[in-house]
């Protein structure tokens, strides 16, 4: 004969039997807030443990219940005066009450006349849908029998077959004879520690406990919580709740209970990273990012080596070798020939003007793994703060990318920033090495990333570039009447690198650069300190020397290998000790292959937020 679990409790208040409860730890009992009313103390009696005397208990937490019959959050947490040697209740899987056929549910209550030993009521859940996002409706399993009357409030609703708990009885309608239950997932929404115990597939209890404790330490989040939840869920196939969450924990618990993590959909990692940038506490922010990194690592699986990018558009397999139509010179022995890269592990730094102030910027660092984007950090910063913050987050991003690939650091920048020396960014210490000398660094144009037409064109161009064994440079020289309005059309049939002699500083040069980017040329290079002359330049200038040297270095290399070759060039230029700077010392390098950077949602900050 099966005994009733000993964790069922009777709750006495001021010497009167007021309701039920159930043990969830060796010292914690859950019941309804209305069972206690305004009282902060009660007694818990365990009829299933006859040798155990009544235990004094005090209220340590309450839900949002305000006294009304239909108020949400009708939950109270009691702490017993001492631990008890009773195995606590175990919670059922979220979908267990909704199996087919409907399982029998049992509630154990203490109505009038049964105050000592209690009585059971047999129930079934009416529907998966909740009433007011708070209650599940219960009906009698057989249409007759013991009603869940006064004295059942706070009782666990237990699956008879397994003895696990699906929720808590909260009310009874004497006319319809129907009851209401607060499901376990809703109970955990109102009291965060219960989230450690309620099953959430894909999220182990210890992992949930770590996140819950970090959330408890987090101060109030600036801005609406529904936006934080929406930005964290993004395109990750999570249906968001109507309205705004009432607390940060409620937003976190929604994702815990409503999403199952997969390698390409980890919304809680996104939320933890975004929260880390909002809390205004760097140690706490780092702990949140570390939680996200560990959560993602748990879902990483070793991947076989691949010769194609993991993005949604894969390049075709290389065809058999074809003869090069024109002879190309061999690369200079001063720069070593770099072995081909078979797979990139990209890190993306996005910098935008926020509109909140003249120098305010929205900065985001992401890592890409197996074709999916992983947010590493997001912040609104003054321009003077960007470099140090970005370098720190890039360090964090290295823990997120696939170690089997070659790291590639890409800066997606406004056009006015494309000439900035981001490849020379280094830490504040005098001995720090420039970023562009430790990993391939490329820049991309935000305007192009926002244009579906240009992204489509770039992917089509790369289908051609993947077949090219070399990278013949198309030169835009100082001499000649190049008209920006015609250059975009002229470059439509150019698939290789485009190189200019001047940086985009003067108005005409900015127009030329814009025309090249709009072509769209996937590979663009120029010297940041190029030809200083104006329209009268006779072509005998540093800019022309730059084009000559660049053409010699790149001619025999496939376009996909150029980031590695530019890295080698930057190392050579950094070590150069000659009387004049190395010709590649201030080289800007746009290299954009959209297949490695699948489209990502815009930054969460509003332009004037």
Q: Could you read off the pLDDT of 249-289 as tens digits, one per residue?
A: 999 999 999 888 887 788 899 999 999 989 989 999 999 99
Q: Would you say residue 331 has pLDDT above 50?
A: no
Per-residue pLDDT, 32: 96
Q: Which residues contact 57 (CB under 8 A, 6 or more apart)?
A: 29, 41, 42, 43, 44, 78, 79, 80, 81
Q: Give the mean pLDDT of 310-321.
A: 43
Per-residue pLDDT, 552: 93
Q: Give the mean pLDDT of 563-589.
A: 92
- Bridging pattern class, strands 498-500 and 523-527: parallel
Task: Name which of 159-168, 357-366, 466-475, 537-546 the model is least confident about.
Answer: 537-546
- Residue closest to 410 by CA, chosen among 559, 146, 596: 596
CA angle 404, 409, 413 (to 5 degrees): 150
- Residue closest to 439 by CA, chosen among 394, 471, 393, 489: 394
Counted residue by residue, the chain has a size of 609
Q: Would you say residue 482 has pLDDT above 50?
A: yes
Per-residue pLDDT, 591: 97
Peptide bond into 331 cis (omega under 30): no
- Phi, psi angles (nearest 5°) of residue 571: -65, -45
CA dihedral 16, 21, 25, 27 (to 10 degrees): -10
- Between helix 248-258 and helix 267-276 the angle, nearest 10°, is 160
- By percentage, how much of the chain surpasses pLDDT 90? 58
| C-beta separation of 103 from 163 below 8 A | no
Neighbours of 585 (CB within 10 A): 18
540/552: higher pLDDT = 552
List 377's β-bridge partners, or say none: 365
Q: Distance between the two ends of the chain, CA-based, in angstroms? A: 64
| C-beta separation of 523 from 498 below 8 A | yes
Q: Would you say residue 305 has pLDDT above 50?
A: no
Q: Would you say residue 215 has pLDDT above 90?
A: yes
Q: Give the mean pLDDT of 206-219.
A: 95
DSSP 362: E
pTM comes to 0.78
Task: Name which of 26-35, 145-154, 372-381 the model is least confident about.
Answer: 145-154
Per-residue pLDDT, 50: 87
DSSP state string for 314-357 = PPPPPPSP---SS--PPPPTTSPPPPPP--EEEEEEEEEE-SSS
Q: pLDDT-based confidence at 240, cuts 50/70/90?
A: confident
Per-residue pLDDT, 533: 61
For the chain, give the mean pLDDT.
85
Q: pLDDT-based confidence at 113, cuts 50/70/90?
A: confident
Q: Could you read off the pLDDT of 9-23 as tens digits, one per residue?
A: 999 999 999 999 999
Q: pLDDT-based confidence at 232, cuts 50/70/90?
A: confident
Q: Give the mean pLDDT of 419-423.
A: 95
- Phi, psi angles (nearest 5°) of residue 274: -65, -40
Give the SS3 label for residue 330.
coil
| C-beta separation of 259 from 185 below 8 A | no
Residue with tokens 């997120």: 400
Per-residue pLDDT, 140: 80
- Residue closest to 390 by CA, chosen among 410, 414, 415: 410
- Output the CA–CA distances (angstroms, integers) from residue 293 to 144, 269, 597, in the order listed: 54, 7, 20
| C-beta separation of 425 from 391 below 8 A | yes
CA 220 to chain centre: 20
Q: Would you say residue 304 has pLDDT above 80?
A: no
| C-beta separation of 516 from 454 below 8 A | no
Q: Give the mean pLDDT of 472-482.
A: 81
Region of 274 please: left (phi>0), alpha (psi -120 to 50) or beta.
alpha
Q: pLDDT-based confidence at 506, cuts 50/70/90?
A: confident
- Phi, psi angles (nearest 5°) of residue 56: -70, 145
Give the SS3 label for residue 107.
strand
Per-residue pLDDT, 89: 96
Q: Would you say residue 564 has pLDDT above 60?
A: yes
Q: Would you say residue 99 has pLDDT above 70?
A: yes
Q: Give the mean pLDDT of 324-337.
A: 43
């Amino acid at each position: 004969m099966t005994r009733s679990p000993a964790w069922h409790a009777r709750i006495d208040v001021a010497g009167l039997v007021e309701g039920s409860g159930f043990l969830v730890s060796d010292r914690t009992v859950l019941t309804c807030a209305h069972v206690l009313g305004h009282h902060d103390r009660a007694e818990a009696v365990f009829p299933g443990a006859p040798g155990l005397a009544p235990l004094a208990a005090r209220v340590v937490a309450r839900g949002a219940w305000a006294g009304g019959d239909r108020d949400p959050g009708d939950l109270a947490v009691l702490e017993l005066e001492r631990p008890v040697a009773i195995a606590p209740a175990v919670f059922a899987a979220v979908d267990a009450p909704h199996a087919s056929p409907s399982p029998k549910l049992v509630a154990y209550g203490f109505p009038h006349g049964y105050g000592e030993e209690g009585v059971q009521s047999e129930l079934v859940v009416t529907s998966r849908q909740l009433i007011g996002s708070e209650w599940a409706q219960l009906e009698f399993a057989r249409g007759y029998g013991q009603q869940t009357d006064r004295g059942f409030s706070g009782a666990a609703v237990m699956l008879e077959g397994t003895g696990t708990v699906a929720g808590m009885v909260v009310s009874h309608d004497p006319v319809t004879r129907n009851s209401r239950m607060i499901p376990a997932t809703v109970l955990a929404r109102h009291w965060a520690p219960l989230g450690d115990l309620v099953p959430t597939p894909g999220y182990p209890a210890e992992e949930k406990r770590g996140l819950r404790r970090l959330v408890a330490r987090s101060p109030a989040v600036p801005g609406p919580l529904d936006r934080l939840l929406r930005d964290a869920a993004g395109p990750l196939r999570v249906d968001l709740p109507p309205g705004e969450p009432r607390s940060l924990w409620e937003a976190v618990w929604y994702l815990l209970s409503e999403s199952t993590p997969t390698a390409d959909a980890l919304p809680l990692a996104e939320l933890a990273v975004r929260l880390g940038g909002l809390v205004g506490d760097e140690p706490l922010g780092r702990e949140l990012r570390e939680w996200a990194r560990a959560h993602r690592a748990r879902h990483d699986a070793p991947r076989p080596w691949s010769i194609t990018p993991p993005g949604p558009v894969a390049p075709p397999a290389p065809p058999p070798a074809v003869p090069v139509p024109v002879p190309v010179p061999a690369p200079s022995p001063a720069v070593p020939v770099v072995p081909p890269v078979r797979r990139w592990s990209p890190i993306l730094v996005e910098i935008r003007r926020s509109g909140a102030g003249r120098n305010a910027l929205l900065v985001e660092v992401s890592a890409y793994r197996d074709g999916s984007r992983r947010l590493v950090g997001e912040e609104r910063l003054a321009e003077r703060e960007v470099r140090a913050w970005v370098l720190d987050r890039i360090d964090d991003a290295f823990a997120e990318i696939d170690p089997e690939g070659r790291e590639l650091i890409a800066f997606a920048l406004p056009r006015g920033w494309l000439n900035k020396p981001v490849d020379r960014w280094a830490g504040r210490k005098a001995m720090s090495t420039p970023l562009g000398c430790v990993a391939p660094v490329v820049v991309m144009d935000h305007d192009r990333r926002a244009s579906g037409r240009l992204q489509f064109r770039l992917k089509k161009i790369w289908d051609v570039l993947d077949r090219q064994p070399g990278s013949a440079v198309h030169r835009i020289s100082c001499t000649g009447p190049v008209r920006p309005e015609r250059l975009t059309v002229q470059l439509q049939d150019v698939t290789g690198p485009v190189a200019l002699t001047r940086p985009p500083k003067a108005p005409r040069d900015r127009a030329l650069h814009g025309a090249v980017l709009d072509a769209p040329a996937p590979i663009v290079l120029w010297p940041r300190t190029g030809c200083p002359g104006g329209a009268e330049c006779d072509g005998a200038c540093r800019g022309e020397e730059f084009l000559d040297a660049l053409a010699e270095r790149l001619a025999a290399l496939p376009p996909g290998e150029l980031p590695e070759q530019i890295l080698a060039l930057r190392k050579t230029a950094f070590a150069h000790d000659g009387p004049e700077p190395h010709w590649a010392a201030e080289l800007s390098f746009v290299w954009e292959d959209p297949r490695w950077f699948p489209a990502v949602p815009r930054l969460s900050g509003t332009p004037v937020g």
